[in-house]
Amino acid sequence: MTLRASKTNQSKQTAELRNSVPAGMDEAMAETKMRTEPVVVTQIAPAKAKLTLAEVRAKLDGQTGRRFWKNLDELAETESFQQLMAEEFPRQAGSGEWVDAVSRRGFLKVMGASLALAGLAGCTKQPDEAIFPYVRQPEDLILGKPMYFATAHPFPTGAIPVLVKSDAFRPIKLEGNPEHPVSKGKSDAFTQATLLELYDPDRSQHVLHRGEVSSWGKFQQEFAATAQETKGGQGIYFLSGTITSPSLAAQWKQVQQKYPQAKLVQWDPVNQDASRAASKAAFDDYRDAQYKLEAADVILSLDADFLGGIAHPGFLPLAAAYAERHRYAEGKTPNRLYVIETMPTVTGFKAEHRLALKPSEIGSFAQTLASGSTPAFAHAEQQMFFAALVADLKANSGKCVVIPGEQAPAEVHAAAYALNSALGAIGKTVVYTPTVNPLPSVQTEELKALVADMNAGKVQWLVMLGVNPLYSAPADLNFLDVFNKVPTTVHLGSHVDETGFLSVWHLNQAHYLESWTDARAYDGTISIVQPMIDPLYQGKSAHDVLQALLDNPQASAYDVVQANAKTYIQGDFATGWRKALHDGWVDGTAFSGATAMPKVALNAVPSVTKTSGYEISFRPDPSLYDGRYANVGWLQELPKQVTSLSWDNAALMSLGTMGDLKVEESDLVEIIVNGRKLTAPVLMVPGHPDGVITIHLGLGRRVEAGRVGAGVGFNAYTLRPSDAPLYASGATVKKTAGSYDLCVTKVHNIEHRGSFAQHDLERPESDKDGVYSLAGHEAMERAIIRYATLDEVKKNPNFAHEGGPGSLVNKVGYSPQGETPKHEDSFFPDAWHYDKKDVSSGQIQNAWGCRST
């Protein structure tokens, strides 16, 4: 977690990057928070001579064929890349700090003291240690053995059912619930990282009233008393994140009965508005799509990153079904994936056929596809792709499916409905069910209405439940201005964040691992979210806030959830409730297989409007989502999918765009959308379409975000217009002075290190000293990653084992007789069956998006 530049050292730099923050406020906040913040001094040495675009082009010129590479330097085999590797492998390099006598001596001198002290530490007398045994030990607890409890991680796109490993009733690890029909034991990066979020020391620990420590009781009283004085709740507005809990929705209905004038606005900066708007038009009601990829031979993704993470609804079952159908086995035809997308994603990388289009072009491409009209594309490549796609979809009618992305515009969703309908996919590979979220809405529209009401002075109480609009609201709404017009603002949040800091009341929110609630998973199955630990800071949940207005304000979230569970748990309630808590889901709550049919009425295909300027595509960050995980170190240091960027975000663009702008990687560019400016460093992404820049939301949090997240990257929300939250057209981009070093994890790959470690060595026939690494040797003899096309596999199904142990004789790293090591000589005598790794049947074939830190 040390790559973060210190706040003080970097303040100038970050101020430059976050230029839209009102300066006065920022400084004031910085002062109040800075004193307690430890200064993390980490200077990243500026990279040596960077590879220029021209060099890359020169190197790439005339190169074709299959070659795997992970970054441009490596591709071009530049000197600086060799240097980087040399530092890691001094033995080969013959230079570098370890072999350099002076440097090594200096190192030992410095380390000598620490080493000596480290040795001494082992000799000190241990202090007395107390034992605090239980007074009454829980019956089934065996101290030292973990216990497992089922719960679910509520996420806007659908809950992820988890099994929590708990040591002495402290959650220590989250994994997918293996018995749950949706997660089947799998989980994702966000879910895993919520554990660290629970133990985040920056979490808010108190109820604050105008910055002073107050109490929940005082808030409850004041809130209930004011509400009673209003006319039916007039002037009381709730601004909540996407509500995922059926119980919370039921509670809201009760509040509405008592206070019919009170209003609820749900809004998340990254939302499903496009899909909601399209489904409202097509079904007269909000619908969610559930794809059955196990039945699909051909899949078309229209900017849907359904293999990338839970930002796409149903990631876990979709990825599992896709992988199962994609796995190669003899006599089985793997499915085929077409992906049309802007920003390259892991889904795009898995695709057999991928077409990179600008966001604006994806809509017209999809509609052209749906209308069956003859397209007029600029490029022959697009024309070919289109023709092949149409033919393939038609040939596989009823066995294909079109998946629109949640961040793709509404017309893409409309086209997907039409296509799925025309191709006979509905009912077979896709069903349209009621929404996973109990109170669906088009959120940006609602937010705009709320801002209008706030502006008109109609809002007396603004109760914000788990949202952070002062950080993430679209820039043109000027949320801070209207926020200041509301007399009483209440913020329920896990941190005293940008919004909590300025709110009149701040209520510290309980983590989902500390609270009772419920949520639906992708297939509609309801899970009860049960607390794993007593709230660390007596936090409250949205249930408690709503309950404060109701007749029985003392009812706990547990009472509320249990009361509502009676509506969906069938049979004997006590048994059913216990079973639901034990299993992690409620039987029979999945949506029925019945599907709604969309009214397919396509508008005339709009002619492709040539927009001037660049398009800016706003995407949730692959690691931090909308910024809610900014203070989770695990996710900050997680190299982002595709770019391998960590602790930062960048203006992601293609080589062509870089050429247009005459910039190199790490140069700063100024992006101007509707007069709002943002400065961002440039990072090249191979496969990105020209003329469009992707920027990830969720970074550039201010100092209130916490010690980890503050000041990392730049805040793309400051550029985001409310009328075009997905992508903005007509942006001006120009190079500006300065440069910024991005943290890109480059080559942490065993194959790579291995091949480098061996590349300049003589390779003797046998290795009697055991100094040569098997991995390295293998990398030279035969790649660790072995690949073959489908046709090649059919011809030679055993291709992956060729040159493996037993087949190479008298080679370094292998036994002289070509035998596998004896049991007692092996490093992993029992756990490692190298020969049984069935690579050819697609073990690696289906590994994607693997990331570790």
Partner 1 sequence: MAQVFDRSSNALARFSLVLSGIIVIALGVTLNSLQRSPWVTRQGQRPDQPIPFSHKHHVEGLGLQCQYCHTSVEKSSYAGIPATKTCMNCHSQIWTNAQLLEPVRQSWATGESIQWIRVHDLPDFVYFNHEIHVNKGLGCASCHGRVDQMPLMYQQNTLQMEWCLNCHRNPGVNLRPTSEIYNMAWAEPSRDKPVWCGPTGKAGTTAQSVACTTEDPKNANPEVALLQANETVQTSRSQPGMVAHGAGSLETDGAPLGAIAMPVSYRRFTSQAELGTYLTAQYHIRTPNELASCETCHR
- The correct pick among 94, 144, 675, 770 for binding partner 1 (CB under 8 A) is 144
Please, what is the minimum distance in Å from the beta carbon of residue 132 to partner 1? 4
- Taking the alpha carbons at both ends of the chain, their separation in whole angstroms is 10
Write down the residue that tokens 């409620």 correspond to: 586
Please, what is the minimum distance in Å from the beta carbon of residue 136 to partner 1? 5
**Number of chain positions touching partner 1 (CB under 8 A):** 18
Please, what is the minimum distance in Å from the beta carbon of residue 349 to partner 1? 37
Measured from the CB atom, the residue of 126 and 612 that comes closer to partner 1 is 126
Measured from the CB atom, the residue of 40 and 168 that comes closer to partner 1 is 168
Number of neighbours of residue 551 by Cβ within 10 angstroms: 8
Measured from the CB atom, the residue of 134 and 822 that comes closer to partner 1 is 134
Measured from the CB atom, the residue of 110 and 116 that comes closer to partner 1 is 116
Instruction: Output the CA torsion sign for 104, 109, 112, 114.
Output: negative
Instruction: Output the CA torsion sign for 30, 31, 37, 41.
Output: positive
Site string (98-137) toward partner 1, x via CB under 8 A: ------------------------xx-xx-xxxxxxxxxx
- The correct pick among 28, 110, 143, 785 for binding partner 1 (CB under 8 A) is 143
Measured from the CB atom, the residue of 130 and 213 that comes closer to partner 1 is 130
Q: Give the orientation angle of helix 7-17 with respect to helix 23-34, to 10 degrees.
A: 160
Q: Decide if residue 201 touches partner 1 (CB under 8 A).
A: no
Please, what is the minimum distance in Å from the beta carbon of residue 835 to partner 1? 24
Please, what is the minimum distance in Å from the beta carbon of residue 554 to partner 1? 24
Measured from the CB atom, the residue of 120 and 225 that comes closer to partner 1 is 120
Measured from the CB atom, the residue of 134 and 847 that comes closer to partner 1 is 134
Which two three-digit tokens encode residue 223?
A: 């809130």
What is the longest distance spanned by two Cα atoms in the chain? 90
Which two three-digit tokens encode residue 7?
A: 């706040």
Strands across the sheet containing 147-153: 147-153, 160-167, 170-176
By CB atoms closer than 10 A (0-12, 13-18, 19+), residue 6 is: middle
Measured from the CB atom, the residue of 24 and 127 that comes closer to partner 1 is 127
**Total residues belonging to the chain:** 853
Strands across the sheet containing 212-214: 212-214, 207-209, 505-508, 488-493, 461-465, 236-240, 263-266
> Segment 464-523, which members bind partner 1 (CB under 8 A)?
none
Please, what is the minimum distance in Å from the beta carbon of residue 827 to partner 1? 12
For 31, half-sphere exposure in the C-beta direction (CA atoms, 13 angstrom radius) is 5
Measured from the CB atom, the residue of 168 and 608 that comes closer to partner 1 is 168
> Segment 329-358, which members bind partner 1 (CB under 8 A)?
none
* Contact (Cβ atoms closer than 8 angstroms) between residue 702 and residue 624: no
Measured from the CB atom, the residue of 124 and 603 that comes closer to partner 1 is 124
Please, what is the minimum distance in Å from the beta carbon of residue 549 to partner 1? 35
The distance from CA 540 to its chain's CA centroid, rounded to whole angstroms, is 26
Please, what is the minimum distance in Å from the beta carbon of residue 126 to partner 1? 6
φ/ψ (deg, to 5) at 737: -70, 155
Measured from the CB atom, the residue of 137 and 261 that comes closer to partner 1 is 137
Measured from the CB atom, the residue of 2 and 137 that comes closer to partner 1 is 137
Measured from the CB atom, the residue of 145 and 768 that comes closer to partner 1 is 145
Which two three-digit tokens encode residue 661?
A: 């702008």
* Contact window for partner 1 (CB under 8 A) among 74-82, 143-151, 323-331, 645-653: 143-151
By CB atoms closer than 10 A (0-12, 13-18, 19+), residue 789 is: exposed
Pairwise CA distance, residues 676 & 674, whole Å: 6
Cα–Cα nearest to 505, from 181, 211, 163, 76: 211
Please, what is the minimum distance in Å from the beta carbon of residue 131 to partner 1? 4
* Contact (Cβ atoms closer than 8 angstroms) between residue 431 and residue 317: no
Pairwise CA distance, residues 814 & 800, whole Å: 17
Please, what is the minimum distance in Å from the beta carbon of residue 110 to partner 1? 24
Please, what is the minimum distance in Å from the beta carbon of residue 115 to partner 1? 16
Cα–Cα nearest to 50, from 76, 25, 26: 76
* Contact (Cβ atoms closer than 8 angstroms) between residue 617 and residue 697: no
Please, what is the minimum distance in Å from the beta carbon of residue 120 to partner 1? 10
**b/e code 579-593 from CB counts within 10 Å (16+ = b):** ebbebbbbeebbbee
Please, what is the minimum distance in Å from the beta carbon of residue 828 to partner 1? 13
* Residue type at 802 in one-letter notation: E
What own/partner pairs with CB < 8 Å and gap ≥ 24 does 41-47 have?
41/6, 41/9, 42/2, 42/3, 42/4, 42/5, 42/6, 43/5, 43/9, 44/3, 44/5, 44/741, 44/743, 46/741, 47/80, 47/666, 47/741
Please, what is the minimum distance in Å from the beta carbon of residue 528 to partner 1? 29
Measured from the CB atom, the residue of 131 and 850 that comes closer to partner 1 is 131
* Contact window for partner 1 (CB under 8 A) among 44-52, 141-149, 559-567, 617-625: 141-149
Measured from the CB atom, the residue of 121 and 847 that comes closer to partner 1 is 121
Cα–Cα nearest to 680, from 628, 746, 733, 636: 733
Measured from the CB atom, the residue of 134 and 604 that comes closer to partner 1 is 134
Number of neighbours of residue 609 by Cβ within 10 angstroms: 8
* Contact (Cβ atoms closer than 8 angstroms) between residue 602 and residue 282: no
Please, what is the minimum distance in Å from the beta carbon of residue 821 to partner 1? 16
- The correct pick among 12, 67, 109, 145 for binding partner 1 (CB under 8 A) is 145
Please, what is the minimum distance in Å from the beta carbon of residue 165 to partner 1? 15
- Contacting residues toward partner 1, per CB under 8 A: 122-123, 125-126, 128-137, 142-145
